[in-house]
A and B are shown apart, each in its own frame.
Chain A
Amino acid sequence: MEFVFGALSVIAIAGAVGVITLKQPVHSGVSFIATVVALAGLFALLSATFLFMVQIILYAGAVITLILFVIMVLNVQASHLPDEKGQGKALVLGAVCLAPLVALGMRGFNTLGSEKLVVLGEGFGGIHGLGMALFKDWVLPFELISLLLLAALVGAVVLLKKERV
């Protein structure tokens, strides 16, 4: 269990580093797949079985496919790629901005318990418990999300509509 957790974490972080360091957008997309699949495995280890399935089907299946499809449709040439020379300064500046967040995270980190987590078996994180919680306590956010998805659908159609001159 420990070994699986460590391996999945390393894969997820390595994929994330690949996303922000590789030059070609297609390579970034492929490393993002590694991160998403490793995170799905971590969800399974944390006994969130339904979210594991959603992550595989929705992220690895739909969102990543859409991203790679768009990258390939746009037919990115080497001449389209921006010149990214001055990354060092931006990285240092970003690290300075992140320092307070990391300090806060470390303070919260020490309040968490360090006992080992084992995989729960009695239906925790399955579709039944999640559905009960979603439709009892979270029904308003759920409805608002449906509105948001409708707005996103309309927005995507409007953006990609051919302009009639």
Chain B
Amino acid sequence: MMSVQGVALVALVLFCIGFLGVVSRKNIFVVYLSIELMLNGVNLLLVGLSRYHEGSDGQVIALLIIAIAAAEAAVFLALIVTLVKHRRTLNIDRFNTLRPKGTR
């Protein structure tokens, strides 16, 4: 069913898979890729709605989101490299420098 409903369904499924990846995995790379999955799901929904209403605004927002995702990739990967250099692990539970002493 190549309709806007089908596109919205695929976009919702992608967003949900990305969210589940963020909350269930402990590997910092997989968490980052899951965030990208959520962004891509939203992009698909925007492009589908833009096609449905035959206006360009949705595609412009999707373009801005892609630019933000590229900026996020640069900062996030720099952050990962720094953290892994200091902690020698990919486990997000070990990155707890800002947690107050005595919690958990």
Contacts and interface: CB of A to CB of B under 8 A. Distances in A.
Given A42-B44, A141-B64, A155-B78, A90 B8 contact: no
Contacts of B81: 70, 73-74, 159-160
Task: Determine chain B's interface SS by DSSP, over half rule.
Answer: helix
Contacts of B64: 138, 141-142, 145
Interface in B10-42: 10, 12-14, 16-27, 29-30, 32-34, 36-37, 40
Given A50-B59, A51-B63, A93-B23, A20 B17 contact: yes
Interface residues of A, number: 84
Interface of A: 1-2, 5, 9, 12-13, 16-17, 19-20, 25, 28-29, 32, 35-36, 39, 42-43, 45-48, 50-51, 54-55, 58-59, 62-63, 66-67, 70-71, 73-74, 76, 80-84, 87, 90-91, 93-95, 97-98, 101-102, 105, 108-109, 112-117, 120, 124-125, 129-130, 132-134, 137-138, 141-142, 145, 148-149, 151-153, 155-156, 159-160
